Each structure stands twice: as structure tokens, then as C-alpha cells.
Structure 1
Amino acid sequence: MQVESVPLGSVTIGPPAWRDGTVRSIRRAERLVRQTRAGPPPRSCSAETAEDKITSDGPGESRDSVCKHQTWRPQTTGATLPGGSRRSPAVPFPPAVPFPPSSWRERCAGASVAVAAEYMRRVREVEARLRRQAGRVTEEGVKLERDRGHLERMLRSIRTNLTVNGRSSEGRSQRPLAAETDPDGADYLLLWEKRELTQLKRDLEGALRTALTQLQVLGESSRRLLDCAGERSRVLELVPRGGSAGGRGAPTCSSPEPTGPLTPECERALESSSLAVRRSQLLRDDVRRTLGAAIGRQKAAHRAVNDGLVKKTAETVGLQQRLTLTSAAARQAAFRKQREVDCIRHSHGRAQVCVCVCVCVCVCVSVSDLSSCLQGPEYSGDVLSREKFSRPLVQVYQRHPGTQLPEAARLVQGSAMLRRCLDSSEDELARLQRTCLQLLDDLRGKTVAARVDAAVVRMRRQQVDRRAVPSFLQEGAC
């Protein structure tokens, strides 16, 4: 509303000084009203006209002192403060404007809210980044923990195979004969398998120690990230959780500052966690390669020992069959030799009887005395009539002196030859019998050895735990 001055009347009442003071008060009030309206900035108190000044020492002097002692307050240009992590000081009001607008407090409060909201938004971004990184660290820890479980299962499998290897060596030491307990190719294969499994056990234990250390590093990194995220979330109690600030958008790049949203501690936690995640990924790749190589070497060693034992069993069974045939042939030869010895002994006994009869006829010695001397047959009935020297033809032929038949000498020579043949045949028979017994003992030893090796192979195949490691690792190791 436009304020207009009312013209004063022409009638003068009272003294002029009283009237002039009143007019000056009215004009001063009109000037103050114009200053409070929107428009060009009013003049300062120093620009007052000379006619507005109070020359007297009256009550109007106290009114004019208001302009002299007026307090000037600063004023901003009306723009909001710049966002971000930096807080810029408020711009002072220009001294030409004595009074701020009526919405100054609201504008100051709005600027403060804008600064706090921008800071909280950036803090929320940092918190979301920290929690996402903590989630990645936790996920990597879960994967590394799974690989650690695979390592432990593989170590249990190797320890089981070492136990099976010891049982195999102990079982093969129970072979019966000394010739069967001498070290052979299967024993050397078992020793090689033991060395191979021991080396694999040392390698896997080293990998397990490294994995456990890396798990501790990941756990510590996750705790640091969560602690930093909890510390950053202390200013987010009045901010709603929804919105774009906590989403998966591209984070605002900002340099770390001690008083900013991204502190140096948070930056160090993020960098160390990223490095730990990369190292964990490389370690998991190494663990996978180590597991694949260990599974392949373990299978190769187990297969080589089993194949060696199977070959040894087959060789023992082949020798067992040959020993069976040879022992049967030796026993048959011993029976033939026994019949031959019996025939030679019978022929030698008959020859002895003939020699006895011949000597008895020649020197007139009784048959009983001669048989007791030469250990011939018990009675003369075993000698045929045509073999006796007392037959009529021999008696008639020997009536003249010097007429001796060569039969007696030849019988003596034949008896000596038969004796030598009998001794030789008896020696051969004894050797055949001893060889047959040795073959039978060897056959029993080979049978027991083949049974022991077969039991060892069966035990090794039963004791192997094929579920000790995952199937995808076994397929990759094949």
C-alpha cells in the first residue's frame, strides 16, 4: 500500500518549534516506511538532508541517534553454499544493505541442510562402497574356505593312502619262504609310492598353511571394512535407507580427507582389502592347480603299485602253474625210476643167485652158506632150471678138465654192472624225490605268495576313498 503524506492545514496552533519537530518526525517515519519496502536501497543516515537534522536539543535528538547507533548485519547473495566435503564460510553481506530479508533464517537453515545432506549422501556412498567391498571380501573368504576344505580332504586321502601303503608293505612281508621275502619290483613300487605321497603331503600342508593365513587376512580386512562402515554410518541415522545414494551407481570420486566423507583410514582399508582379494584369487588358482597335480600324482602312484602287484600276482600264478606241471613230471619220473630200480634190484638178485650156484658147483660149497655170504635169495626156487649149473649138459661138459663155460664169469661181470646201475639209479631216485619235495614246497610258497599279493591288491582297492575330493577336481586331474 502506497503511503502518502497528508497536507497540513494553514492554521497554526502553538509555537513554531513544536510544529517543526512534529513535521520532522512525520518525514522520518515516512522515510523508514519507504526503506522497508522492496525497491532501490535507501540512503544512509549520513545522506539525510539538512532540513531533516535536528538543530535543537529537544526530544527529537534521541530519535536521530537511532540512525547513528544502528547495528549493521551481513547479508548473503541468496545462493546456497557449495556442496561437497568442503564447508565454505558464509559470504558477508555488503555493507550497503543495512537489513537482511525476512527469510534469512530459513535460507541459512536451508543452506545448512543442503550441506549436511550432501555430506550425508557422500558418506552413504562411502559406506555402501565399504559394505560392498566387505561383501566381496566375505564372498572371497567363503570360496577360499571351500578350497581349504578341499585341501583338508585331500590331505586325509593322502594320509589314508600312506596307511594303506604301510599295510601293503606289512602284508607282503608275510610271504612264507625266504626267496619270496626278498625285495622285488612290487616292493620298490611301494617304496616309491610312499616317497611320492610324503612329498604330496608336505606340499599340501604348506598350501593349507598359506590358505589359513590368507583367511585370517581376509577376516581382518572384513572387520576393518565393517568397522569403518559403522563409523561412517554414525551420521546417517536421520537419512532414509532408500534412494540412489545407497545404490550400485558409479561412486563419486573424491580424494581422502581426514574431515571428509572418505577418510584416509577408509581408503587404506579399501586398498588393503582389494589387495587381499587379489591375493586370495591367485592363491585359489594355485590351490586348484596344486590339488589337480596332487590328485593326478596320487592316482598315478596308486595305479602303478596296483598294476605292479597284479603283474607280480600273475607272474606268481604262472610260476605256480609251471611248478605244478614240473612237480607232476618229477613225481612221474620218480615213479619210473622207482620201477627201474626195482627191476634192476630184481635182476641183480637173480644174477647173484646164478653166481652163487655157479660157484657152488665149481668149489662144492653149499647153497645155504653161499647165499648167506652173498646175500642172495632165501631159497633156490627163484632160479630157473635152465640157469642152474647143475643141469645135465653142464655136468657132462665139465667131465674133462679145462672145459669151463664163460657163463659164470659173464654173470659175475653182469652182476657188478647191475650193481653199479642199481647204485646210480638209487642216487637218481633220491635226487628226484628231493627235487619233487622242493618243488612241492616252492609250489606251496608260490600259492601263499599269490594269495597274499591278491589280498593286498583287494585291500588297496577297498581302502581307497574316491569321495575324498570333489568330482570336478578328479575329472580335471585325469
Structure 2
Amino acid sequence: MAVPSVGSATWRDASYRTIRLAQGVRLYPFSSLPSTASSQEEIRPEGETTQRKGTSRPPPTPAPFHRDLIGNTCNAFACGYMRETRSSLYILRQALWETDCHIQKLQKQREILERSHANTRRDIVTNNETVQLRSRRPMTERYPDKVDPLIQEERSSLLDLKRYTELQLYEVSRLLKVLYSHRQRLYECCRQKGRVLDIISESGRPQSRGQKTPAGGSLLGAENKDSQSARYDALKTCERFRNIKPPNWNKLADCTELKDSVTQGLRQKAEETSRIRDDVTLALGDVKNMIQRQQRMYEELEGSYQLQLGPESSLDLTVRERLDRPLVRILQRHPGTQLPESTLICQGSASLEQALSKAQDRIGVLHMIQMKLREDQENKMWGERIDRAATRLRVKSAKGRGERLCL
């Protein structure tokens, strides 16, 4: 139940005006700055405005401990700034460490690619040397064989591998340039942050990565945004490079099987040439034996032919055949008893002459075959030597792969 007013309104308002006047001129506690709890939110570094919004009362009266209060507040602000700076520095160093790890992986990969590229170039040189060495074979040994297409296939595969390795080296160099720029930027940010950490309390330790960090607090200046931007760009670049990394980056296409097949083909060709040369050597011995037999037969036929011809003159004391022997003269007295002795002797002489001509022709053919066999034997010997030299060249090049990184 409201109490009814008895006094006049003017009288009552005059009293309340006095009360409000007393409240307006009351004394405030001794304080010249905000409390320590909210000091880090109110104090701004030099150059920033510190005006309060919506305050129209006069400034408070400084307390007797004004200097100590200002000193404690500034010390609290400095310690908070150092804590946030150290946390930010910790995060930047983590990003710098991850960037360095990624750079080291790419550098190792580049070394592997450079070694592979150098070995590929060396294999190409070995392939060219093999072709040049095989081109020195005799003309009869230059018939196309199964090794020639293998060598051409090896060369095309090596050229493709060389181009693929060069593209990978270019890509790795491009990635490293980008990461080097990010690392330099992170290093500059860490160096700038480290300049304010000469004095810091033991309690100013950085928080773990899973917790909320004050790295983006209001105490840090505008340079912290640049640091955070550098960290974000570096981590994003590393993640992007990690995602775009091809699956067969560490599994380079190798021509080892093809190169081994070429070497094995050269070795088999040399062994086959050796077997053929052995057969040619045996055939050469048989031909030599046949020539000797034909020569003896020719000499015997020639002697028989000379005996068949008889002496050159009838006055020769060694004449054995005489067509005017007494027995023949008595037999020829009767008609129709002519002996074919002279005819048969002439026919035998002609037959022996033909046999001598054929034997001489056979001996000439055998000499020609012997000459061809000797030439083929020598060509097979040089072909085998060249193929074995090409095999040793390729084996030596494969064994010395780790000792030579560039050509």
C-alpha cells in the first residue's frame, strides 16, 4: 500500500538535488591507472590512442604510490608481451623446423635424382661407345642380329629416362626455391621476435600446440600478423607440396633389365661367334687335308700320264712299247688282225689328261675355299674380340656407377 505524499514536490526535489550534488563531488579512491587485472587490455604501446569512450568524469587524483603502481603495471605488461612473443616464437620455430625437414627431404631427393641423371648420361655414353665399337667389325660380321634392336631400344629408353629425370630435377629446384624464400622469411621473423626475449621470467613458457596460444593476442603489434602470415604460408606450401608429390617419385624407371639383356646378348653373340669359329677351324683343317690328298693324287696322275705318253724319241733306250714288235709283225700278216693298241694308248692318254685338268680345277677350288675359310676365321676372331670388349666395357661401366656422379 503506497504511502501518500504530504510535503510539496518543490520541497522534496530541493532535497534530492542536494543529495545528487553531494554524490557528484564525492572523493574517488587513490588510483591513477586501471587495475592490474585489466591493465593488459587497457595499455597500448606507444603511438596508439588510449582514450576512453563514454567517460566524462574528471581524471582521478594521483595516489601517493602512483610511481610504484605505474611500474608494476608496466612490468606486468612487459612480461605478458614477452610470454606472447615467446609463444609466437615457439610456433614460428616449429614452422621453420618443418620447413627445414621438407627442404632436407627434397635435397636428398635431388641428390638421388642427380646421381640417377649422371648414371643415365653415362649409360648413354656407354651405349654410343658400344655402337661405335661394334661398327669396327669386319663387313662379313655386320649382319643384323638380335643385339642391334636391343641397343636401339636401350638408347630410346635411356633418352626417355634422361628427359624424365631432368623434368623432376627442374620441379625439385622450383620447390626448393619456394621453400628457401619461406624459410628466409620465417628466419627473419624469428630473429625479430628473439630480440625482445633477453629478459623473461621463468613462468613465461610457451604453451603446447594443442592448446589455445596467445600468439594472436592484443599485446603483440602489427609485425605479429606478418609472422603469422609467414607461418601460415610456409605450412600451407609444405602441405601442398606434400600432396602433389607423385607416387613414383622415389621409384624411378630403370633400364637395368634392358641393359642386362643387351650385355647378355653381346655375350651370347661372342660365344656363338666362338663356336662358329671353331667349326670354321675344323672345316679349314678338313680342306687342308683334302688339298693334300688331291695334290698327291694329281702328282700320281701326272706321273702316270708321263708314263703313258712314253719317250719323246724312238731312239730312247728306255722305250718299252714298240708297235713293230716281231710278234705284232707276224700277227699283222693276216688280214683283219689289226691290234687297237695305239688307239687305246691315245684314248688313255686323253683320259689321263682330262683327269689331270679336273684334279687341277678341284685343287684350285679347294685353295679358294681355304682362303675364304681363313678370312672368315679371322673375321670371326675379330668379331668375337669386339663383342667381348663391348661386354667388358658395359660391365665395367655398371660396376663403376657409384664412383662417378657426373660426366
Normalising by the smaller structure, the TM-score range is 0.7 to 0.9
**What's the CA shift for 1:160?**
1.8
Match of 1:461 in 2: 395
Match of 2:92 in 1: 130
Counterpart secondary structure, 2:140? coil
Match of 1:334 in 2: 291
Match of 2:135 in 1: 173
Q: Count how many residue pairs are aligned between Structure 1 and Structure 2.
A: 381
Q: What CA deviation, in whole Å up to 9, does each residue of 1:145-203 have, x standing for no partner? A: 1221222222222222222222222222222x311234433233222222222221111
Report the Cα distance in structure 2 between the residues aligned to 1:313 and 1:221, rounded to whole angstroms.
59
Match of 1:438 in 2: 372
Instruction: Map 1:80-91 onto structure 2 (within 5 A).
Output: 80-81=37-38
**What's the CA shift for 1:70?**
8.2
Q: Is the 8 A contact 2:34 2:42 kept in 1?
A: no
TM-score (norm 1): 0.68
Match of 1:162 in 2: 124
**What's the CA shift for 1:102?**
6.0
Q: Is the 8 A contact 1:225 1:266 kept in 2?
A: yes
Q: Is the 8 A contact 1:127 1:229 kept in 2?
A: yes
Instruction: Map 1:75-474 onto structure 2 (within 5 A).
Output: 80-81=37-38, 106=68, 109-175=71-137, 177-240=138-201, 243=203, 245-246=205-206, 250-253=210-213, 260=220, 263-281=224-242, 286=246, 289-290=248-249, 292-294=251-253, 296-297=254-255, 299-353=256-310, 367=314, 381=318, 385=320, 387-464=321-398, 465-467=400-402
Once the two structures are overlaid, the 10-residue window that deviates more, 343-352 or 196-205, is 343-352
Distance 1:317 1:47, change over 3 A: closer
Q: Is the 8 A contact 2:127 2:151 kept in 1?
A: yes
Counterpart secondary structure, 2:334? coil
**What's the CA shift for 1:134?**
0.8
Percent identity at matched positions?
Answer: 25
Q: What CA deviation, in whole Å up to 9, does each residue of 1:53-89 have, x standing for no partner? A: xxxxxxxxxxxxxx98989987889571176799798
**What's the CA shift for 1:136?**
1.9
Q: Is the 8 A contact 1:156 1:468 kept in 2?
A: no
Report the Cα distance in structure 2 between the residues aligned to 1:279 and 1:188, rounded to whole angstroms.
43
Amino acid at match of 2:119: S
Distance 1:443 1:207, change over 3 A: same
User: Could you say which structure has the larger radius of gyration?
Assistant: 1
Amino acid at match of 1:117: C
Unaligned runs of 5+ in 1: 1-42, 49-66, 358-365, 369-378, 471-478
Match of 2:47 in 1: none
**What's the CA shift for 1:332?**
1.2
Q: Is the 8 A contact 2:284 2:370 kept in 1?
A: yes
TM-score (norm 2): 0.78
Report the Cα distance in structure 2 between the residues aligned to 1:392 and 1:207, rounded to whole angstroms.
114
Cα-Cα RMSD: 4.0
**What's the CA shift for 1:127?**
1.2
Q: Is the 8 A contact 1:76 1:91 kept in 2?
A: no
Distance 1:133 1:469, change over 3 A: farther
Distance 1:160 1:178, change over 3 A: same
Counterpart secondary structure, 1:252? coil
Distance 1:153 1:77, change over 3 A: closer
Distance 1:250 1:70, change over 3 A: closer
Unaligned runs of 5+ in 2: 1-17, 45-49
Amino acid at match of 2:170: R
Report the Cα distance in structure 2 between the residues aligned to 1:169 and 1:103, rounded to whole angstroms.
97
